[in-house]
Structure 1
């Protein structure tokens, strides 16, 4: 996501490789060595440690014959110490009928948890009494044989995967089936489920909630909104998809492709805000929005190129990475780049708007802002002006009535100019303003209620507060 990002890959006990240097928007593939394949059960140190000097996104991809699985790898600072274990889906030939489940046959083996430890010696309790001790970067596979295993509780952060080595799909074939579980959540959340997920297939929603409560709900067009105090996973043959709760919606996502496969972005957004969705530099081109019954939301499926940045100009949304190989679907929640919507693009570091806490002259306000690592604000374009006015309304408690902005008159030519050297076009002068060169050479903006942020020319030595500003850092825009 940033230029000059150094990435180091370490395969379990081997010396670290690299570092490799990646630039903003660049992707790189790292093939997994065959020695990394896990045995059926037990402990293992076959983990990969990825470190970077800046934020990156990591997606794991497994392709084997007719089976493709993808997973978003969560950074360690987003992992948790407690997880709710989903109910096991009914899969004919794998979990149904129940008396066929056996560790002796791969496709009839029990579902399992893969618990991956981070950098500390850790103790993990699965269910009520199964205690596991893990060394740093060690993992353990735990079979989920009954409903007693409903929680994972660890002393330190872990990652938890839920799934099956080779669950039955169709035409007497089986394939890998895994989902990365989100950390446990006790508040009631909303999960929006597009109907297209169940296209030409029987599907279920697997709910795991506080109090060790689980539910398996048959999915249909009347079940496009689910509320749960926990997590929700969507199941259809060949796919376990962790659903994105409304509190985790983002404003910008990145969606990559897999060679020789169809790749899509599945977008869920409020139906009144569809115009704000962009793919790269452009608004979505001719999207086919489909309403989610019983909600204010709609969804659409968008084909993506080598890399697509899906962002919203004013709101948050959910985006999933989806792919299709033959008739089989695979996918995962797309990585969130930002949760700060901005009309200019995808934000890596949000803008800063600050109202000064001291009243000084215009020249002194320049130094005040510089000392804060900011600039006296220049906002030459009408869209940015409206945006900043909204920000000021959120910040000001009506105690500050006027502020300096980064516009003044040239002493040599008498022309107005912005400090950032942008041309003066959209202006918001008060009636009778600006006056002559003798009436004032620096611009004061009113914050009084009902004055609509009008500008006036004032004596630059007059003490007043100021607006300090720093532009956002954009990943795309």
Structure 2
């Protein structure tokens, strides 16, 4: 009999978002970028974080993909009829459910007779990340084009004269929706109902600023063909995050290849201000904000929680607030051929050299310090279509940037886990197990090792806090942990070898949590135990290794190790 204690905090700290899950819903907005494109395409790229199966639901099509191994990728392609091109209700939502954790990336592209392409991609958020309260960026197409020095196209019709908003009902029952508009200072509400798993597409001019619902919805801001330059246009698509994922501090990325860019702040409080280097930024009449230097990444902060969007002709990139930095990101690029593939990485300057790509430290990065912050940023080039990037001791921010022809596209990378781990990118958190039977220290070590676990090793304060919070008992007894003295040097060290799995070598002791008067000299104890009593603050003691105590085993996390591309799946 065991007391099994899952470290739930690994994936639930603060407002940090992770984008893996078991259930997803999305849609393909209309895409007519680069007029009359041929060919064009739409796909969802599904990556398995565990051995799993998944099922795709589209219209009357139900397709199950079985036996997808951990790290494998399926590219699910959809027909042109999957696009949502009309205003009003539609059944063209796409759902994916899985037996274990997956992540989903969206790609839509068109191509002209030349090498020019219009590509858009974004992270499809799992339904667990969706909510019922959204703020919509106040984007007016005419203002946007004029701000960037363009002029309205002659062919514009009512259909293409504004942005669109797609609201997808994420639950299996009718969902009551309220959209809120501000028309000439008058707040107006419209109410309607979306059937189960269906969607509605609305025009989204600068008056529509809020969406509320009775159940969870996904919200996508889109435009089928936003004019850029030289009679070309790019599709725009941006999945809006719920209000609870807003923040106050942002590192605005410098995206190489963008010649013009502005910021758009979305806030529930009209008095919210935005500052750069302690200088308040003043919005234009259309609400756009300009940074003082667009040649490098910039740090900005706000007086309240906001969403911050980087706007450029043909591109919208959602900013990652500092409170949503993560420890590991999955990078999925669009192009299978060699080209411009980079990750913009934001890391703490003191630990930037510890950024890892898969199992290797980054060696080809040129870091630039971000003025007034503890951060530096770097553009890291890649040749791989799929990879992951992580940091062993601190959180980082990562964007993917890519281009085809003269067009830049990209956005935030897929966050896999929000908590650093010294051994890799965590997919599944670890577990502590407290055995009821009492054993000596050597027997306890053998018992844990036989389960391919190890004795609990709180090598850092945050691990000690996790262990204390998950045990959280008042039992007046002690349990063995993986700390003991060397017979040769009498130094304390952590014992963490696991047969047949990832090797966790023994290590020196940098963090300690000894009780008063501890540890005793070596003649009175070569092994360490931990109190199971909350009132004793789970302090450590040195003990004789032959004494009988309950072992605290630790099942290490499951790590993302490799990624493999496989053949596509076609949805007719």
When normalised by structure 2's length, the TM-score is: 0.68
1:365–1:20 Cα change, 3 Å: same
CA–CA distance in structure 2, aligned partners of residues 187 and 51 of structure 1: 27
1:459 and 2:546 equivalent?
A: yes
- CA change 1:43–1:360 in 2 (3 A) is same
Deviations 1:207-226 (A, max 9, x none): 11014679421234285324
CA contact (8 A) 2:529 2:540 kept: yes
Residues 440, 545 of structure 2: 8 Å contact kept: no
Q: In 2, are the aligned partners of 1:224 and 1:292 still within 8 Å (CA)?
A: yes
How big is each residue's C-alpha offset from its partner over 1:403-454, in whole Å with a ceiling of 9 and x where there is no partner?
A: 5235899xxxxxxx98856899667797864x6xxx88x833588x9xx978
1:19 counterpart = 2:65: yes
Secondary structure, counterpart of 1:185 in structure 2: helix
CA deviation after TM superposition for structure 1 residue 188, in Å: 4.8
Q: Determine if the alignment matches structure 1 residue 444 to structure 2 residue 493.
A: no
Report matched runs for 1:352-371 at 5 Å.
352-353=431-432, 362=440, 366=444
Which residue is equivalent to 1:340? 419
Q: Is the CA contact 1:71–1:180 (under 8 Å) kept in the aligned structure 2?
A: yes
Secondary structure, in 3 states, of the residue corresponding to 1:197? coil
Contact 2:93–2:199 (CA under 8 A) maintained in structure 1: yes
Q: Quick one: distance in 2 between partners of 1:76 and 1:273?
A: 34
Partner SS, residue 40 of structure 1: coil
Q: Do the aligned partners of 1:445 and 1:453 also contact (CA within 8 Å) in 2?
A: yes
Contact 1:162-1:178 at 8 Å conserved across structures: yes
Structure 1: 5+ residue stretches without partners: 380-384, 410-416
Could you list the per-position Cα deviations for residues 49-90 of structure 1 after superposition, in whole angstroms to 9, with x for gaps in the alignment? 111111111111111122111111111111011111112164
2:166 aligned partner:
114
Q: Which residue of 1 aligns with 2:553?
A: 468
RMSD: 4.0
What corresponds to 1:124 in structure 2?
177
Please state if 1:297 is matched with 2:375: yes
Alpha-carbon distance in structure 2 between the residues aligned to 1:40 and 1:226: 39
1:39 to 1:457, Cα distance in 2 relative to 1, 3 A: same
The residue aligned with 2:202 is 142
Match status 1:51 vs 2:103: no
Query: Equivalent residue for 2:131?
Result: 80
Question: What is the CA deviation profile of residues 106-147 of structure 1, one whole-angstrom value per residue up to 9, with x for unaligned ones?
Answer: 6x5111211111122111111131223101121111112343
Distance 1:363 1:432 in 2: 18
Whether 1:35 aligns to 2:114 is no
Residue-by-residue CA offset, 1:33-54 (whole Å, 9 max, x unaligned) = 1211222322111111111111
Q: Distance in 2 between matches of 1:454 and 1:327?
A: 64
The one of 246, 258, 266 equivalent to 1:208 is 266
Distance 1:454 1:237 in 2: 63
Contact preservation (8 Å) 2:166, 2:221: yes
- 1:8-407 maps to which residues of 2 (within 5 A)? 8-12=55-59, 14-65=60-111, 66-88=117-139, 90-92=143-145, 104=157, 109-119=161-171, 120-127=173-180, 128-147=188-207, 149-185=208-244, 188-194=247-253, 196-197=254-255, 199-211=257-269, 215-221=287-293, 224-227=299-302, 228-258=304-334, 259-260=336-337, 261-304=339-382, 305-353=384-432, 362=440, 366=444, 377=455, 387=459, 391-392=463-464, 403-405=479-481
Q: Is the 8 A contact 1:221 1:293 kept in 2?
A: no
Contact 2:369 2:375 (C-alpha < 8 Å) held by counterparts: yes
CA distance 1:263–1:220, shift in 2 (3 Å): same
Q: Structure 2 vs 1, CA of residues 456 and 419 (structure 1 numbering), >3 Å: closer, same or farther?
A: farther
Q: Is the 8 A contact 1:114 1:139 kept in 2?
A: yes
CA distance in 1, matches of 2:442, 2:393: 34
Q: Distance in 2 between matches of 1:376 and 1:113?
A: 51
Contact 1:93 1:168 in 2 (8 A): no
Alignment check: 8 A CA contact 2:331 2:386 kept: yes
Q: Which runs of 5+ in 2 are unaligned?
A: 1-47, 112-116, 181-187, 273-286, 486-494, 510-517, 563-572
Following the alignment from structure 2 to structure 1, what is the Cα–Cα distance between the partners of residues 482 and 206?
Answer: 67
Matched-pair contact (CA < 8 Å) for 1:404–1:445 = yes
The CA deviation at 1:16 is: 0.7
Aligned residues, how many? 447
Structure with the higher strand share, 1 or 2 = 2
Call closer, same or farther: CA 1:443–1:53 in 2, change over 3 Å: same
